[in-house]
A and B are shown apart, each in its own frame.
Chain A
Amino acid sequence: MSGPETPSQTVGPYLSIGLSWDEGPLVVPDDAPGAVWLRGEIRDGGGEVVQDALVETWQAGPDGEFHAPGFRGFGRCPTDDDGRYAIRTVKPGAVAGHAPRIDVTVFARGLLHRVMTRVYFADEPSANAADPVLAAVPAERRATLVAERTEDGYRFDITLQGPDETVFFAV
């Protein structure tokens, strides 16, 4: 559709003054049952860390419901000097017929429009194998969408460009 939509522009290098919120990365309180950290780093096509990116996450609650009462479902974290982000959340429940997943948006200097990807979980092999979105991704690229289990949660790195480029989606 050719609507009068306002075009996107980059967040620029100084996004953190406008988009940082103290509670932004905290989707759930630290004493929430099943609270985990989703951590990762963002790299560019030259292998350099991206220090001026912002990650936003959007997800269902543990029961698979978006907008569950008392559950915000939304997280936001700028990357730090090492290109890292960290979101404290809970693993989402499966939504009928689909593997548990967290939607991720990345903004950054040098990104004129946001890019979107998804976090799937390495400890859900059978659900992942049956997921229709993962099935639409070329097999050799699927691993870029799967977060590995770590000591305190999951690790999901994002590569904006290059041989290990993360799979991004159009919505």
Chain B
Amino acid sequence: MNPHPPLLSPGYGSTLLRAPRQEPILLPHPLADLTGPALGEGPVAAADADLTAGPDGEAQGQRIVVHGQVRDADGRPVRDTLLEVWQANAAGRYRHRWDRHDAPLDPHFTGVGRALTDAQGRYRFVTVKPGAYPWGNHANAWRPAHIHFSVFGRAFTQRLVTQMYFPDDPLFAYDPIYNSVPEFARDRLVAGFDLSATVESWALGYRFDIVLAGTGATPMETP
């Protein structure tokens, strides 16, 4: 079963004029590119995984540790792959010129982080829990707290952008983006509270494992 949301999900208004209406054309076997693009690890520093260490001071809000493992659909860890995250601050506001939400900007929080997975496919970010925020999709629309994730994987077929949510959010029932995902797969977007990842007197821990598509069983395209 396909766990991805349909491109046309009318409850999420922006899909109405943006979702292609023609069926995608299946690339003839075996032409799907099985190699993967990468920006390379050069631009990623260890400090990029700590979103709380902002310019000239520490970010405000509830400190959290978000960690997990990236695997492929066959269960294999995906090592050395780039994760990029971005999020609203603890008050529910993005550091973006279009975000006009009447909530304070945190001068010490950019909301942007990067990390590479290790040899076991594991990653770890330190950040603050993002706030919920209103958006104009429908009456009294509020996004559940979430962190955007971008993952490269090791093949063109594995590239994924998704969002991580927090357990027991009362806004799930009202959010058309969360609910665009088929019901059986929605809980895959929700991190688990993880006491073993909490840090005494400092931060709460959450675990968010990510499973990418397979690389495809087709042979490599002959160069």
Mark the stretch among B24-32, B55-63, B120-128, B193-201 that contacts chain A. Answer: B24-32
* B25–A6 CB distance below 8 A: no
Residue interface bits B1-23, CB-to-A below 8 A is 1, else 0: 10111110100101111111110
Q: Is the interface of A mostly helix, strand, loop or mixed?
A: loop
Does A3 have its Cβ within 8 Å of any Cβ on chain B?
yes
Across the interface, B4 reaches (CB within 8 A) one of A24, A73, A113, namely A113
**Which chain B positions have C-beta within 8 A of A46?**
17
Q: How many residues of B are counted as interface, with CB atoms below 8 angstroms from the partner's CB atoms?
A: 70
**Are A17 and B112 CB-contacts (below 8 A) given A110-B19, A115-B7, A161-B21?**
yes
Taking the nearest CB of chain B, how far is it from the CB of A68, in angstroms?
A: 9
Q: Is the interface of B mostly helix, strand, loop or mixed?
A: loop
What is the CA–CA distance of A167 and B32 in the complex, to the nearest angstrom? 16
* B98–A14 CB distance below 8 A: yes
Does A114 have its Cβ within 8 Å of any Cβ on chain B?
yes
Does A74 have its Cβ within 8 Å of any Cβ on chain B?
yes
Does B111 have its Cβ within 8 Å of any Cβ on chain A?
yes
* B211–A5 CB distance below 8 A: yes
**Which chain B positions have C-beta within 8 A of A98?**
31
* A136–B25 CB distance below 8 A: yes
- Residues 21-60 (chain B) with a chain A CB within 8 angstroms: 21-22, 24-28, 31-33, 35, 37-40, 43
CB-CB nearest in chain B for A137: B25
Taking the nearest CB of chain B, how far is it from the CB of A41, in angstroms?
A: 14
**Which chain B positions have C-beta within 8 A of A11?**
148, 150, 161
* B22–A168 CB distance below 8 A: yes
Does A95 have its Cβ within 8 Å of any Cβ on chain B?
yes
Bin the interface of chain A by size. 35 or more
* A113–B28 CB distance below 8 A: no
Taking the nearest CB of chain B, how far is it from the CB of A152, in angstroms?
A: 24
Across the interface, A17 reaches (CB within 8 A) one of B5, B26, B32, B110, namely B110
What is the CA–CA distance of A16 and B98 in the complex, to the nearest angstrom? 11
Residues of A participating in the B interface, judged by any CB pair closer than 8 Å: 1-19, 21, 23-24, 44-46, 48, 50, 56, 58, 60, 64-67, 72-74, 76, 95-96, 98, 103, 105, 107-116, 132-133, 136-137, 141, 160-162, 165-171
A-B interface, 6 closest residue pairs, ranked by CB to CB distance from nearest: A18-B86, A110-B14, A3-B73, A74-B37, A110-B18, A112-B5
Residues of B participating in the A interface, judged by any CB pair closer than 8 Å: 1, 3-7, 9, 12, 14-22, 24-28, 31-33, 35, 37-40, 43, 73-74, 84-86, 94-96, 98-99, 110-112, 148, 150, 156-157, 159-163, 177, 180-182, 185-186, 188-189, 210-214, 216, 221-223
